[in-house]
Amino acid sequence: MVFVHVFLFPLYDTMPKKKEMKFLGDFEQSLCTTNLKPVRIPLYWKHHCPKDGIVTVAQGGRLGNQMWEYASTWAVARRTGLEPYVPRCIRKVLDEVFEDLNIPPLGYVSHCPAKWDSVITTPEFWSYTNQSILLPRFAVLPELVLTWVDDIRHEFRFKRRLVEASRKVLESANQLLNSTALVYVGIHVRRTDYRDYLWRTHKMFLAHEDFFIEAMNYFRKKFGGNVAFLVVSDDPGWCRQNLLKGQSDVFVVSKGGVTSPGQDLAIMAACNHSIIDYGTFGVWGAILASGETILYNITNHSSIRVSELLPNWHVMN
């Protein structure tokens, strides 16, 4: 039986130059937005080359985007049975945040011949095991990835230092509120670079403070006030000005230039529930938290696709 699956991606803009790229290592650099250093190949991999096709992906965006690129590669490989590899530039970003990722770097098979006649670079059909699948940068495949949502949560396990730092943040909120049974709700507020993007792509403005306040009130009512809201954001000043307003249960935990994106994501994942506006970062924070999620309504955004696939995800205007 031949398995056929349809992949609908945007046109891919990195076309392999067959004469210049005889080996997979020659191709890896073209998938990255940063320069790669020479790779040290572990002994096992020096004697290994894929027997069939592979799944790999181009690098695009920041942490949340690259988590989707990795997860999409992981899910497509699981569905097709092809070997997954990600370029080292993506592994470098993710290895700073997560422990023991399972997809090996593409550089480990850099010595293997590149079989360009069997690479699908523009998205139509994959139908044979000797065909490789090259996913585009910014690939987002929630319909496939979330088929194995518990497994992808296990794949993205945070570094111990991030887990410990997140635990201290939650404990601090617990002590300030003097409660032993707090429910933690992570809030992601994205502003800076998204203002122009939202208007250009959706003719929408940034989420108003009323959205966050209404969502917080929903959780306050549900849990009887025994709740702490931990806010992570690229604009903590706006959050302090608009979301605190004398509320003792709201904590803006992001500190510009101090806390890293990985730390903010780990805090979100450590919470019980989530409130998110838009962007892949907040979506992943909510997925990893695995609780109830309130999200801002943006038509045709990937966050809406996720909300249609996971229970307890609710859209709020």
If one compares 160 and 118, the residue with the highest pLDDT of the two is 160
What's the mean pLDDT in 245-261? 89
Asked if 147 and 84 sit in the same domain, the reply is: yes
Looking at the structure, tell me whether residues 177 and 289 fall in a common domain.
yes
Residue 58: closest CA among 38, 21, 22, 29: 29
Q: Report which of 171, 170, 166, 164 is spatially closest to residue 267, judged by C-alpha positions.
A: 166
Q: Are 130 and 111 in contact (CB under 8 A)?
A: no
| Residue 180 and residue 308 in one domain | yes
User: Which pLDDT score, from 0 to 100, does residue 14 have?
Assistant: 47
Domain limits for position 126: 5-155
What percentage of the chain reaches a pLDDT higher than 90?
73
Residue 8's pLDDT band (cuts 50, 70, 90):
very low
Q: Where does a domain end: 97, 123, 155?
A: 155
Which one of 137, 155, 173 terminates a domain?
155
Residue 141 CB-density burial (10 A; 0-12 exposed, 13-18 middle, 19+ buried): buried
Q: CA-CA distance, 157 to 67, in Å (whole number)? A: 12
Per-residue pLDDT averaged across 53-81, rounded? 95
Let me know whether 197 and 108 are in one domain: no
Model-wide pTM > 0.85: yes
- pLDDT bracket for residue 255 (50, 70, 90): confident
Per the structure, the count of domains in the chain is 2
Rounded distance between C-alpha atoms, residue 124 and residue 8, angstroms: 7
pLDDT band at residue 121 using 50, 70 and 90 as cut-offs? low
Domain co-membership, 312 together with 169: yes
Q: Are residues 37 and 100 in the same domain?
A: yes
Considering the domain architecture, whether residues 310 and 168 belong to the same structural domain is answered as: yes
Token pair 């991606």: residue: 9
17 band by pLDDT with thresholds 50, 70 and 90: low
Instruction: Please tell me the number of Cα atoms within 13 Å of 72 on its side-chain side.
Output: 25
From 102, 123, 155, give the residue that closes a domain: 155
The answer to whether residues 151 and 167 belong to one domain is no
Q: Within this chain, do residues 181 and 34 fall inside the same structural domain, yes or no?
A: no
Beta strands 227-233; 250-252: pairing state: parallel
Question: 218 and 306 share a domain?
Answer: yes
Q: Does the structure show a pLDDT above 70 at 11?
A: no
48-57, 63-72, 298-307: the lowest-pLDDT one: 298-307
How confident is the prediction for the chain on average, in pLDDT? 90
Together in a domain, 169 and 312: yes
Is the per-residue pLDDT at 168 higher than 90? yes
pLDDT tier for residue 199 given thresholds of 50, 70 and 90: confident
pLDDT at residue number 2? 34
180 and 242 belong to one structural domain: yes
User: Residue 286 sits in a domain of what CATH number?
Assistant: 3.40.50
